[in-house]
Amino acid sequence: MSILLAVAAHAAAIAPAQPQNDIIYYVIRRGDTLYGLSRNFLVPERRWEALLRLAAIRDPKRLPVGRTLRIPRTWLRFKVEPARLAGYRGTVSLSMSGRTIVPSVGAVISEGAEIATAGNSFATLMLADRSQVVIPSQSRVRVRELRRILLTGAIDYRIDVEHGRLETRVTPLEQPSGRYRIQTPISMTAVRGTEFRVSFEDERRAAATEVLAGTVTFSSSASEKRLTLERSFGATLDRAGGSRVEKLLTAPDLEEPPALQTKDAVEFRVRKLEGSTRYRAVIASDAGFIDNIAEQFSDDGAFALANIPNGNLFVRVSAIAASGLEGMAQSYSFRRRLASIRGTVEPEDDGYRFRWTGAGGGVRRYRFQLRRDTPQGALVVDEVALERDALTLRRLKAGVYYWRVGLAQLEDGEITESWTEPEKLTITDPSRLPRG
């Protein structure tokens, strides 16, 4: 045995065993040489002699085509492929290399970047392989690795959830050696192409993973033992390292979801779902929920989200179990056109003063109706095309009335109509009042 081969054999004998996840498999191709592979793909600390022992060959000048090399990841060179800030809403803080960066759509997100979102704020990252990462409100994540291994072209991504939640849709990995990991201080979730959520709570030191599509592996950061989670299953991990797997709650339904939302707040109500303790609603401008606009949690399933812009929007609702796992989600489309109207009535010396106000744009015209006895009773007053925001009625006879105000709003060539709910007005005959 040559001195070179003896040294290689001795090195192989004392080399520590590598965890399966830290190994890259490469099949030798025609034309490969030890020198060429090491020069192009190995880190400077590893030379062609290291590959010689991995190949287990006698002639370093001839590599056996088809033989598989098991190469530790740490031996291989890579290039960093930055992500991009695809969109953000609200208050988002971004720092890289210890410097605070003003967020902007299209901004480069490199390794080491930290993104934090305030209340009702969102950030969406687009990774180089087209995977999407949504960072909901009250969350903080750190981008650890955004790498592509030069030898195989496989990606090696890692994002840490330091607080809050993260939602991601992963592009299927093209290479078997590709790796996409989401890590919390106590757990690690790895995927090969799927849609899932990861969360971590500082106070309880609890982590959770919920799988919406595909398959993931879930484990404690300190353990090599991994759980395989299929679609519609989730797992929790507590501070003691105890894990629990359960089926996710089904997606809840909305009660008569309105196709048009005109009020000051966008309102929805979820049908109660057995086993749920809370509900979550997210509004986005796109069906893929990349550009999220607002979110809200509700204990009773009633939602009222303010400051929602006009447009064709989407709402996604889900239920949360007692374990804290968020269930499957269901999406609805709706149109938002702010055209709100509210009314009040005040007595005056010789009658009643009706006033109305509201929010919206364009040209606004009003209609006032007063009916007798019931909301569907005989029409007593019907004033149309009113430009002013008040109307005084005098000499109304004693009795029960119901009144309402309608709005016709012309904006961007579109007319939107809305009405206040009928309100009851009781007028008492002064002659029947008790005398002091």
CB of 311 closer than 8 Å to CB of 336? yes
Domain boundaries, the chain: 3-76, 79-247, 260-336, 342-432
Residue 235: is it exposed, middle or buried by C-beta count within 10 angstroms (0-12/13-18/19+)?
Answer: buried
CB of 97 closer than 8 Å to CB of 143? no
3-state helix, strand, coil in the chain (%, to 5): 10, 55, 40
Stretch 197-224: mean pLDDT, rounded?
A: 88
Report percent pLDDT > 90 for the chain: 69
What count of other Cβ atoms lies within 10 Å of the Cβ of residue 387?
Answer: 8
Does residue 1 surpass a pLDDT of 50?
A: no
pLDDT at 383: 96
Does residue 7 surpass a pLDDT of 90?
A: no
- Identity at 339, one-letter amino acid code: A
Tell me if domain 260-336 and domain 342-432 are identical in fold. yes
DSSP letter at 366 equals: E
* Cα 148 from Cα 153, distance rounded (Å): 6
Chain CA centroid to CA 418, Å:
32
What are the pLDDT digits (tens) for 287-325?
A: 989 899 999 999 999 999 999 999 999 999 999 999 999
DSSP letter at 22 equals: G
Q: What is the pTM of this model?
A: 0.81
CB of 32 closer than 8 Å to CB of 66? no
Stretch 171-197: mean pLDDT, rounded?
A: 87
Residue 240: is it exposed, middle or buried by C-beta count within 10 angstroms (0-12/13-18/19+)?
Answer: exposed
Does residue 134 surpass a pLDDT of 60?
A: yes
pLDDT at 70: 85
Sign of CA dihedral 393, 397, 403, 409: negative
CATH classification of 79-247 is 1.10.3470.10, yes or no? no
Does residue 254 surpass a pLDDT of 50?
A: yes
What count of other Cβ atoms lies within 10 Å of the Cβ of residue 85?
Answer: 21
CATH classification of 3-76 is 3.40.50.1100, yes or no? no
Q: Residues 6 or more apart from 291 whose CB is under 8 A from it?
A: 86, 87, 89, 124, 284, 285
CB of 268 closer than 8 Å to CB of 284? no
CATH superfamily of 342-432: Immunoglobulins (2.60.40.10)
Stretch 162-175: mean pLDDT, rounded?
A: 90
pLDDT at 4: 30
Helix axes 48-55, 34-41, angle to 10 degrees: 120
Chain CA centroid to CA 328, Å:
13
Which architecture does CATH list for 260-336? Sandwich (2.60)
